Amino acid sequence: MARYVQVIANKIHNRILWDGVGDPPLVGLVLESAAAGVPDYAAVAVVVVPEIALPHLLRRALAEAGMLAGIQQYIDGLDSDSALKIDWEFAPSLRRNAKGIKAAQTDIGLSDAQLDALWIRAEELGAEV
C-alpha cells in the first residue's frame, strides 16, 4: 500500500493509501513523494479501508489496541462449527464486511470507525514487514 495524493490545479486535495490495483479511487492521483512542494488545498485525508485483512496482522492490530484477549475470548465462546471461529483460526484472510465479522462487531460493540481502523492498521503492519 502506497501513499498517494490527489493533485488538482497544482494543489493537493486528498491523501489516501491505495494498493495501485484496479481503477484509481480518485482522479489525479500521484505518489506522495512525487508531489513534494505542491501546496495543500485541504487538510482532510481520505483513507481507503482494505476489504480484507490477514488474520495474523489483524491479531497484531488488536494486540496494539489492547483488544486481542477480549476478541479471543469472544471467538473461544463461539460454537466449534461457527464459520467465524473456523475462519479466525484457519482462513488465509478475513473480509471486513463478512456476515460473521459484522455480527461480532455488533456483539462486541465496535463502531464502524473502530473496525475500519483495525483493518487499516493491519494493512499498515503488513507494509512494515
In whole angstroms, give the CA distance from residue 11 to residue 96: 33
Q: Please report the beta strands in the chain, taking only residues with DSSP state E, as ranges in sequence order.
A: 2-8, 11-18, 29-31, 52-53, 94-95
Quick one: 28 and 90 in the same domain? Answer: no
Number of domains observed in the structure of the chain: 2
Greatest distance between any 2 Cα atoms in the chain = 56
Task: Residue 6: give the domain boundaries.
Answer: 2-35
Quick one: 103 and 72 in the same domain? Answer: yes
Could you tell me if residue 15 is inside a domain? Answer: yes
pLDDT attached to residue 27: 61
Could you tell me if residue 13 is inside a domain? Answer: yes
Q: Beta partners for 4?
A: 16, 31
pLDDT attached to residue 38: 57
Q: Taking the chain (129 residues) in consecutive chunks of 10 residues, what is each chunk's mean pLDDT?
A: 69 70 65 62 61 95 95 96 95 95 94 89 86
Q: 46, 16 in Cβ contact below 8 A? A: yes
Global confidence as pTM: 0.65
pLDDT attached to residue 113: 85
Could you tell me if residue 118 is inside a domain? Answer: yes
Quick one: 64 and 107 in the same domain? Answer: yes
pLDDT attached to residue 129: 66
The CA radius of gyration of the chain, in Å to the nearest whole number, is 17
Q: 12, 41 in Cβ contact below 8 A? A: yes
Quick one: 79 and 107 in the same domain? Answer: yes
